[in-house]
Structure 1
Amino acid sequence: MIPEIDDALRTIVREEALQGSDVEVVFDAPTTDWAARRNSPTVNMYLYDLREDPRWRERGFVVERGDDGAVTARRPPNRRFKLSYLVTAWTQRPEDEHRLLDTLLRCFLRYEVLPSLVGDGLALDGTRATVSVGLPPPEDRGFADVWSALGGQLKPSLDLVVNAPVQTGVLLAAGPPVQEGPVIEIGDRDGGAVERRQRRPDRDEDDAGEGEAAAPPPPPPEPAAAGSGRKPRARKPR
C-alpha cells in the first residue's frame, strides 16, 4: 500500500504541479543534516505518521465466491489507515518556497480520491484511497512537535493525509457445500418402530415436492385407563 501511494503522489506532483521542471521530489526526513546537504530546489513529502482510522472498522466477514457462485472463503473486512505526509518546499528564497507551496496546495485540492496511476493497488472492494490537505492536526499531535522530533526549525508546510483501504491478509477457507439435509430419527424407549425423516437443504420441511405428499400429522395420544396411573403416550407413525 505505502509504495503505491508514494508512487501516485510523486506522479501527481511531477506531472501536474511541477510540470516537468527540474525540482526534485523526495520522501526523506527533513532533518537539519538533510537540509544542510540539499543543493537544489526540492519538494519533500515526508511520511511522519501512520495509524488506523477506527471510524471505518467493520465487523463480520466478507464472502468470496468462485465462478460457480459457491462460497470458497471468508475474510475480515478491509481496514482503513491514515497516512500523514509533511509536504515542504526547499529553495534558496522564501518567496519561491511560498509559490511552490501554493502550486502544491492547488494541485492536491483537485483530488478527493487518489487515482490509481500506477495500478489497482489503491482500490479494494469498490473503495478507493481518499485525499485531504490542510486539515487541523489531531489533538494529541501538533506540527511543532513533529519539527522538534526532527531536530529542525519550524517551516511552512502542508499536511497531506491519504486514507487508504488495507486487506488484513486473513483468509478462512470455506467447507464443502451442503448436499443433503439433516437426518432425524425418532423412536420410543420401549424399542418400538423408528421413524426416519430427512430435510432437503433447498426447501422448507413442510413444502412437499413434486409428485409426493406431505407427511400427515401424528395421531392424538390415547387416553389412559382409569386408575392405571400411567400417562398417555403418543403413538408413533409407522
Structure 2
Amino acid sequence: MILTEATDSLRRLLQPVLPDGGSVFAGSPAHWASFAAAQQSGIGLFLHRIEEVPTGMGSDWHDVRDEAGRVVARGGPARRFRLSYVLWTWSERSPEEETQLLSGALEILAAHRQLPASCLTGTLAQGAGPARLTPAPEGLASPDGLWGAAGLVHRSTLQVTLSVDLVPDTVGPAPLVQERRLRTAPTSSGRGGPVRTGQGR
C-alpha cells in the first residue's frame, strides 16, 4: 500500500500545475502512450527504483501503552525507503505548454522539502517521519533508456526522490498468566511432590 499512497500523494501535490482537462498518469512510459492518446495534456509519473536508506532511528522494539500506562502492543522500528520517480509532461496543444508543465512541476516540487500534510494519504499520514522530497537529485542513473525500451521518442524528464517511512504493524502482547502450576522434584518414593497452584500477576 505504501507505494500506491506515495504515488497518490505526489499526484495530489502536482494537481495544481495541470491545465483544464489535464491529468496525472502514474505508470511506465510503455503504458502511457495509449493513455496520452485520449488526453490532451498532463504529467507522467513512473516509479522506477526503490532503495532502503540507512537511518539512525534505532533497531529496538518499543512498548505501545494505553492511557493507563498498560502495554497494549509492541511496535517495531520504522524503516526508511527512497522512491525514485521519473516525471515527464506532454501536450497536444503546443511544445510551449509542455515546457510550461515541466517548469511548473519543477517549481512546485522545489518549493517543498517534504510532502505537505494535506497531500498525504493512508499510512503516510501516520508515518514515523516526514516524506522528504528531492527534485533533480545528483547521482541518479539516467532514465533515458526507458523511452527506447518502450519504442518511444525520447522526452525531457525530471527525476524526483521521495523518502518515506515504512512502519511495521504492532504486535499484541502475550496474554497475562492467570494461573501457575509448580511440581516439586520426585521424592525418594518415586512419586512427585504436591502441586501448588496460585494466581499469576
Distance (whole Å) between structure 1 residues aligned to residue 155 and residue 73 of structure 2 = 50
TM-score (norm. length: structure 2): 0.72
Whose radius of gyration is greater, 1 or 2?
A: 1
Alignment of 1:85-96 (within 5 A): 85-92=85-92, 93-96=94-97
Amino acid in the other structure paired with 2:47: L
Amino acid in the other structure paired with 1:100: L
Distance (whole Å) between structure 1 residues aligned to residue 65 and residue 114 of structure 2 = 28
Higher helix share: 2
Alignment of 1:162-173 (within 5 A): 162-169=162-169, 171=171, 173=173
Alignment of 1:1-238 (within 5 A): 1-15=2-16, 17-18=17-18, 21-31=20-30, 34=33, 38-39=37-38, 40-55=40-55, 58-92=58-92, 93-117=94-118, 119=121, 121-124=123-126, 126-138=128-140, 141-169=141-169, 171=171, 173-174=173-174, 176=176
Output the aligned Cα RMSD: 2.8
**CA shift at 1:111, angstroms?**
1.1
Amino acid in the other structure paired with 1:136: E
**CA shift at 1:172, angstroms?**
5.6
TM-score (norm. length: structure 1): 0.62
**CA shift at 1:145, angstroms?**
3.7
SS of residue paired to 2:73: strand
Deviations for 1:165-190, whole angstroms, at most 9, x for unmatched residues? 1112362625659xxxxxxxxxxxxx
Compared CA separation, residues 176 and 67, structure 1 to 2 (3 A): farther
Deviations for 1:99-148, whole angstroms, at most 9, x for unmatched residues? 1111111111111121233546324465221111111243xx33234444
| Gaps in structure 1 of 5+ consecutive residues | 178-238
SS of residue paired to 2:21: coil
SS of residue paired to 1:159: strand
SS of residue paired to 2:29: coil
Compared CA separation, residues 56 and 25, structure 1 to 2 (3 A): farther
Matched-pair contact (CA < 8 Å) for 2:15–2:24 = yes
| Gaps in structure 2 of 5+ consecutive residues | 178-201
What fraction of aligned residue pairs are identical, expressed as a percent? 23
Matched-pair contact (CA < 8 Å) for 1:47–1:86 = yes
Which structure carries more relative contact order (alpha carbon 8 Å, separation 6+)?
Answer: 2
